[in-house]
């Protein structure tokens, strides 16, 4: 058993704790005054606690609920009870949301959180070595075949925790963590512990490891039973099944035995097209597949994926930057596929979701506009800001089988909610809610964050963690990894 797993996460058996990863009670010291008027509601997320978010501009992402220039959201415990223009909530504690946009939290469907301590270390890198001297320091060889081999379980834990908290601070309330760091069962336990301690909704992506004696993919059975026997908690599980890894067929088989989705990177620069085409012809794709990137695949393979109901996760800025291939935005949309957004790797690009939405929107519009300017008789409709938000919220929830819980402000769903500051100097005056979110805002506008009804960030301050202490631990981990990898830590390389 991993020594980083305490009684909250890891040491609990399913029989003793059917939902071991429910949000923890409010952290000590988290009931003080915020920087704006009004005290923070007490006991948020607990059964029986009623909280009314009053007077914000409500963007529900649910057509049946609608949007409100000025509206209220009523929460009881973990769940949304009502969304309306005005709610009489009696004894509910009130959050004054005047000047705020109230919307669902962002959902990241592909993030390698174990790389948090190596942020920007490969800012100029492409994904694989093309033989040119300037690209000798590339992602595959430097990160996966060198840096990652030197992670201890304690390195995995602090990277996972710090990366999760950073995204939570930026309004990303759900992540699928693609943790290609499963060198041992202790490494896997450390991933789960880091995800749990961050206090947000997480999907544990059980991908490959690299050490001799690794237990992937067989250890999926233990992990599923020990941590994910119920899907009712904040954490759930997805099986990684990379088709460039020898023996991937076993990973797919185990994943489907355990009723897990099968996620994989599909990238032309890894030479995957022939294998992916062969799988398409075999008819093995299904609605349980999450295909990440999907660059360079043939039309026949795309049609097979669409016909199977597979989901596509796009990392548009990374795909453009690291030579994955042209982000297939329009291809996926034209085929009617569910498309979500993902941040991918912070060693190269920010995990901020305002960046992801702008990347999606501007590239799709650039390509459509170029078709129009070239005189094409037909060209795709221009993506709207609200579409970009839908891909960043509800479509991500659908892709992770979580849309019954999150992705929209729908009564009955769990309260994963953001309050965004629309009176800040980079936004005011507010004239268009979706436009402000996508074209003007950044992480500094994330005022308050709730996960399953629990307040995790209040009036600009992340709660429940000593961030200075965690940063020092992350720096120590980074120094260890650099030293073991034999890479000079040059701030201007």
Task: Examine the pLDDT at 297 and tell me if it is beyond 50.
Answer: yes
Spacing of C-alpha 90 from chain mean position: 36
Work out the pLDDT band at 212, boundaries 50, 70, 90: confident
Residues 240-252 have a mean pLDDT of 94
Only one residue has tokens 């069962």, namely 185
Q: For the chain, give every domain's residue range.
A: 50-103+412-462, 106-399
pLDDT tens profile 320-370: 999 999 999 999 999 999 999 999 999 999 999 999 999 999 999 999 999
- Domain 106-399: CATH superfamily is Metal-dependent hydrolases (3.20.20.140)
Residues 111-131 have a mean pLDDT of 97
pLDDT at 145: 96
176 or 16: whose pLDDT is higher? 176
Note the pTM of the prediction, 2 decimals: 0.93
Can you list the positions of beta strands (E) in 59-105? 68-76, 79-84, 93-96, 100-104
Residues 416-443 have a mean pLDDT of 98
Work out the pLDDT band at 180, boundaries 50, 70, 90: very high
Distance of alpha carbon 263 from alpha carbon 260, whole angstroms: 9
pLDDT at 4: 55
In this structure, CATH architecture of domain 50-103+412-462: Roll (2.30)
Residues 22-26 have a mean pLDDT of 36
Q: What is the percent of the chain with per-residue pLDDT over 90, rounded to a whole number?
A: 89
Helix (H) or strand (E) holding 109: strand 106-111
Taking the CA atoms of 261, 265, 271 and 273 in sequence, report the sign of the dihedral they define. positive
Q: What is the percent of the chain with per-residue pLDDT over 70, rounded to a whole number?
A: 92
User: Exposure string (b/e) for 449-478, b if CB count within 10 Å is 16 or more?
Assistant: bbbbbbbbbbbeebbbbeeeeeeebbeebb
pLDDT tens profile 395-421: 999 999 999 999 999 999 999 999 999
Helices 467-485, 153-169: inter-axial angle, 10-degree rounding: 130
32 or 219: whose pLDDT is higher? 219
pLDDT tens profile 438-473: 999 999 999 999 999 999 999 999 999 999 999 999
Only one residue has tokens 């291939």, namely 325
């Amino acid at each position: 058993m991993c020594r980083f797993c305490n009684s909250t996460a890891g040491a609990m058996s399913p029989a003793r704790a059917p939902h071991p990863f429910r949000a923890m009670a409010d952290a000590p010291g988290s009931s003080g005054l915020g920087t704006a008027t009004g005290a923070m509601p007490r006991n948020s997320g607990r059964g029986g606690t009623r909280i009314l978010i009053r007077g914000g501009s409500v963007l529900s992402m649910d057509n049946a609920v609608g949007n409100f220039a000025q509206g209220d959201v009523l929460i009881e415990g973990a769940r949304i009870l009502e969304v309306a223009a005005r709610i009489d909530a009696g004894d509910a504690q009130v959050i004054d949301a005047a000047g705020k946009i109230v919307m669902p939290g962002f959902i990241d469907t592909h993030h390698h959180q174990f790389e948090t301590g190596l942020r920007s270390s490969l800012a100029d890198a492409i994904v694989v070595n093309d033989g040119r001297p300037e690209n000798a320091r590339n992602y595959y060889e430097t990160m996966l075949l060198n840096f990652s081999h030197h992670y201890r379980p304690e390195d995995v834990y602090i990277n996972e925790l710090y990366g999760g908290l950073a995204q939570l601070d930026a309004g990303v309330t759900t992540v699928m963590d693609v943790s290609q760091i499963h060198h041992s069962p202790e490494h896997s336990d450390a991933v789960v512990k880091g995800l749990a301690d961050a206090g947000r909704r997480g999907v544990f992506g059980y991908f490959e490891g690299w050490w001799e004696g690794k237990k992937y993919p067989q250890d999926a059975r233990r992990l599923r039973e020990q941590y994910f026997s119920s899907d009712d908690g904040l954490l759930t599980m997805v099986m990684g099944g990379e088709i460039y890894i020898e023996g991937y067929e076993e990973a797919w088989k185990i994943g489907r035995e355990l009723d897990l989705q099968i996620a994989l990177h599909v990238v032309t620069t890894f030479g995957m097209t022939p294998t992916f085409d062969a799988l398409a012809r075999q008819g093995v794709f299904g609605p349980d597949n999450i295909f990440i990137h999907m660059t360079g695949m043939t039309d026949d393979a795309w049609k097979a994926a669409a016909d199977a109901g597979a989901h596509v996760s796009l990392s548009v800025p990374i795909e453009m930057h690291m030579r994955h291939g042209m982000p297939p935005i329009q291809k996926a949309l034209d085929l009617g596929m569910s498309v979500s957004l993902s941040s991918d790797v912070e060693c190269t690009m920010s995990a901020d979701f305002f960046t992801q939405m702008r990347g999606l929107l501007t590239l799709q519009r650039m390509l459509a506009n170029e078709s129009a300017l070239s005189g094409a008789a037909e060209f795709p409709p221009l993506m709207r800001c609200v579409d970009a938000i839908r891909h960043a919220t509800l479509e991500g929830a659908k892709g992770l089988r979580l849309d019954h819980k999150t992705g929209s402000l729908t009564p009955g769903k769990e309260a994963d909610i953001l309050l965004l500051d629309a009176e800040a100097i980079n936004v005011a005056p507010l004239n268009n809610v979706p436009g402000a979110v996508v074209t003007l805002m950044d992480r500094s506008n994330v005022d308050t964050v709730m996960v399953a009804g629990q307040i995790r960030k209040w009036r600009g301050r992340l709660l429940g963690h000593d961030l200075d202490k965690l940063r020092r631990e992350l720096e120590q981990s980074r120094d260890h990894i650099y030293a073991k990898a034999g890479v000079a830590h040059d701030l201007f390389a």
